[in-house]
Structure 1
């Protein structure tokens, strides 16, 4: 049986350093049976396997937030189809996010606007378990950021585990 656990953000991860003062954070871990991947490959694999209902929610989000001055961010899986994993560098766009940190064991992607900053990390603990943690850290800047999170937080708690299960569960 494939198990996804809600856990604390790994203290050895780079994203852990951004927890101070965060408005929201979470982390989900799982043991991957797909050995040998670097963190960016895990993210790319997951982004291409986003459930259709999540893309529907993202499209709805994009229409609604335009009324409040937030940007249309597209879909999580909006990746450059022909871009090699070796061509990605810090500062590049990876779907809706910007690549902020890159190593074999962790990738941090983020997005910022005047209302909030979001960081998403894929961290691989390289031991016998191949434990992967997907963590999110959000800093809000104003009331609109807090209002946005009021709606996003409950959906986020459904989206992340469902996305992990879709991308990893079939071979787990």
Structure 2
């Protein structure tokens, strides 16, 4: 199902500088059918339309983790435009850095700092995640959700590709 998505071990983006001692990092790459898209447009097209089961799972997650002090925000992208600028909200994330070839969004609470990079490289897009847990609760949560992250990240990218948004 995810044969078009390549998992990278070495990630050529700006997130590595943000990694702390205990962190989770992954990166997924897929070939673009529309290589003229900007990193902002790619982020919008990948995350604006989630598979229904992902939306339901994220709602359930929000209800469960709010009790433990995790930030819970809006799951879907709701910006007025697909051209995002630093400070714009994109779902539960805020755009924190923007470069011609890469956009970095972030969210932080007392338990963890989460970063998402969408980097355009030639005719591909690399979507990478960095999570820096800050507390024991953050580390426990991260380890509990990793199997879901693996499936959700690939499903969301696959969904965008199959729908012709990439």
TM (normalized to structure 1)? 0.87
Aligned to 1:93: 89
Question: Do the aligned residues in 2 keep the contact of 1:107 with 1:122 (CA within 8 Å)?
Answer: yes
Aligned to 2:81: 84
Change (3 A) 1:20 1:72: closer
Runs (4+) of structure 1 moved beyond 4 Å?
Answer: none
Superposed displacement of residue 170, structure 1 = 3.8
What stretches of structure 1 of length at least 5 have no aligned partner?
none
Aligned to 1:68: 68
How many Å separate the matches in 1 of 2:133 and 2:10?
19
Matched, 1:123 2:122: no
Matched, 1:149 2:164: no
TM (normalized to structure 2)? 0.90
How many Å separate the matches in 1 of 2:9 and 2:151?
17
How many Å separate the matches in 1 of 2:100 and 2:3?
24
Cα deviation digits, residues 59-88 of structure 1 (max 9, x gap): 00111012212232221x2413xx2344x3
Cα deviation digits, residues 99-157 of structure 1 (max 9, x gap): 0111231011110011000001011112xxx1211000111111110111122211100
Matched, 1:6 2:7: yes
In structure 2, the residue corresponding to 1:133 is in which secondary structure? Answer: strand
How many Å separate the matches in 2 of 1:14 and 1:159?
23
What stretches of structure 2 of length at least 5 have no aligned partner?
none
Aligned residues: 164
Superposed displacement of residue 20, structure 1 = 4.8
How many Å separate the matches in 2 of 1:26 and 1:144?
21
Question: Do the aligned residues in 2 keep the contact of 1:30 with 1:131 (CA within 8 Å)?
Answer: yes
CA RMSD, 1 decimal: 1.8
Change (3 A) 1:104 1:169: farther
How many Å separate the matches in 1 of 2:20 and 2:111?
18
Matched, 1:158 2:141: no
